[in-house]
Chain A
Amino acid sequence: MTIYSLYILNKAGGLIYQTDPCPGLNKLSANEYLVLAGTLHGVHAIASRISPTAPTPNTGFFGTGKAVAGNCNTSGLKSLETDAFAMYVFQTVTGLKFVLVTAPGTRAQADAAELVLCRIYECYADYVMKNPYYSLDMPIRCDMFDEKVVEVTQVVV
C-alpha cells in the first residue's frame, strides 16, 4: 500500500495538517486544499443523509461500540475508489477526521488503511494533544508529530 497523502480535518472541516509521503497525486494550491477539505467535510455529512437503509436508533455512546473501536464513522463517507487513488476517512468521537489517500487497491486494503489511521490517531493524541503549545483546531506544527507520521507511513510502504 503506497500512501500518497494524509490530511487531518478539524471538526469544522478546516484543514489542519497535510503531508505527502509519496508522490503520485497532482499538486494543488493551498487554497484548493482548503476547498478539498471543506468539500470532503460536506460530502461526509450528505452521505449519511442519503442512506437507503432505515437509520438505526442511537443506543447511546457505549452501546454503539464507539468507545472500543476508534473509528466512530459508521454512517458518513468512509472510502472512495477512483482509477488513480483510493481514499479512506476515519472520524474520531470528537469529530476530527483523518483522511488517507493511497494507491488504488483491493477492498482488503481498507482494513490496512484503517489500521494506519488508528496509528496516526495515536500519534496525534500523544504528540499533538499533549503539546502544551498547541491550540485546539489550529494547524498542527509539531516536529515530533511530523517525525512520527513519517515513521508510521514508512513502515507501511
Chain B
Amino acid sequence: MTIYSFWMFDRHCNCIYTREWTRSSPLVPSHSSHSSVSSTSSATTLPAGAIGTVNASNQNDSAKLLFGALFSLRNIANKLGTLPFNEDTSVTDPLAIHRKNSLKSFATGKYRAHFMETALGLYFCILSDPNVADLQIVLKDLYADVYVNHVVKNSASDVDFPAEEVIGNESFVRGVDQLITALPAFA
C-alpha cells in the first residue's frame, strides 16, 4: 500500500499545495508553456531527507483535472444524497446543521482519491493505493492540526491566497510530511 500525493485547493479553485511522494515528473504533460515556467519558480524546497516534490504540479493539467473530478463528484453527492437531521449529533457537532452529504472518496482500479471539504470551501485530497482504508481522520488532522496551526495561526502566512500563490511555509511542509509518512499505509 502506498500514498502517492496530497493536494489542497482553495475556494477560488486554485491549487495551493501539492506534495508528491513518488514521482518527480508531472502526471499529465502540460501543453501550455507558461505552466512549466511558473511551476519551477513556485516550487518549494523540501526538508532534508525527504523524497518527491512540493508545489511542483500546482499549475499543470493534472491538478486541474483532479479538481474538476472532485468538484463534479462532490456536486453529485450533494445533489443525490441527503443526511437525516439528527438532534443528538447537532448538539455535539455545531456544524451538523450545515452538513450536506459529502464525498468521502472515489476510486479507480489504479488509485483512490480521499476527499474532505472544510466549511470554508477548502478541498483536501490524498491519492493512495485503491486498497488503503478510509483516510477521513487523517484529512481532518491535516486540517485541524497542520493547516490551522501552521497557516491560519501563522501571522506571516496568507490565509486567502491570490492566484498562483502556494503554501510554501516550511513548518507546514514538515507537518504534512510528519503526519503522512507516519501512517501505516505509507510504505
Complexed CA–CA distance, A28 and B127 (Å): 31
Complexed CA–CA distance, A32 and B102 (Å): 19
Q: Which residues of A60-94 are within 8 A (CB) of B?
A: 73-85
Interface residue B97 (Cβ < 8 Å from any Cβ of A): no
Are B104 and A40 in contact, CB atoms less than 8 angstroms apart? no
**Count of A interface residues, CB-CB < 8 Å:** 32
Q: In the complex, which of the residues A28, A74, A82 has the most CB atoms of chain B within 10 Å of its own CB atom?
A: A82
Chain B: which residue is nearest A39 at the CB level?
B72
* A50-B69 in contact given A83-B101, A84-B101 (Cβ < 8 Å): yes
In the assembled complex, the CB of B124 is this many whole angstroms from the nearest CB of chain A, namely 15
A22-52 Cβ-contact flags toward B at 8 Å (1 or 0): 0001101000100010011011001111111
Instruction: List A contacts of B72 (CB < 8 A).
Output: 39, 42-43
Are B69 and A85 in contact, CB atoms less than 8 angstroms apart? no
**Count of B interface residues, CB-CB < 8 Å:** 37
* A84-B83 in contact given A43-B72, A50-B28 (Cβ < 8 Å): yes
Q: Which residues of B1-45 are within 8 A (CB) of A?
A: 4-5, 20, 22-23, 27-28
* A82-B79 in contact given A50-B66, A74-B109, A74-B110 (Cβ < 8 Å): no
Interface residue A59 (Cβ < 8 Å from any Cβ of B): no
Are B106 and A81 in contact, CB atoms less than 8 angstroms apart? yes
Are B83 and A40 in contact, CB atoms less than 8 angstroms apart? no
Chain B: which residue is nearest A24 at the CB level?
B81
Instruction: List B contacts of A75 (CB < 8 A).
Output: 108-110
In the assembled complex, the CB of A54 is this many whole angstroms from the nearest CB of chain B, namely 8
* A26-B104 in contact given A52-B4, A52-B23, A75-B109 (Cβ < 8 Å): no
Instruction: List B contacts of A50 (CB < 8 A).
Output: 27-28, 62, 65-66, 69
In the assembled complex, the CB of A109 is this many whole angstroms from the nearest CB of chain B, namely 13
- In addition to A75-B110, A76-B108, 12 A-B residue pairs with Cβ atoms within 8 Å of each other are A25-B80, A49-B62, A50-B62, A51-B110, A53-B110, A73-B109, A77-B106, A78-B130, A81-B105, A82-B77, A83-B101, A101-B80
Closest CB pairs A-B (n = 3): A84-B81, A52-B4, A74-B109
Please, could you name 10 A-B residue pairs with CB atoms under 8 Å apart, sorted by A?
A: A25-B80, A32-B79, A40-B76, A42-B72, A46-B68, A47-B106, A49-B28, A51-B110, A81-B103, A107-B133
Chain B positions within 8 Å of A, measured between CB atoms, are 4-5, 20, 22-23, 27-28, 62, 65-66, 68-69, 72-73, 75-77, 79-83, 101-111, 127, 130, 133-134
Chain A positions within 8 Å of B, measured between CB atoms, are 25-26, 28, 32, 36, 39-40, 42-43, 46-53, 73-85, 101, 107
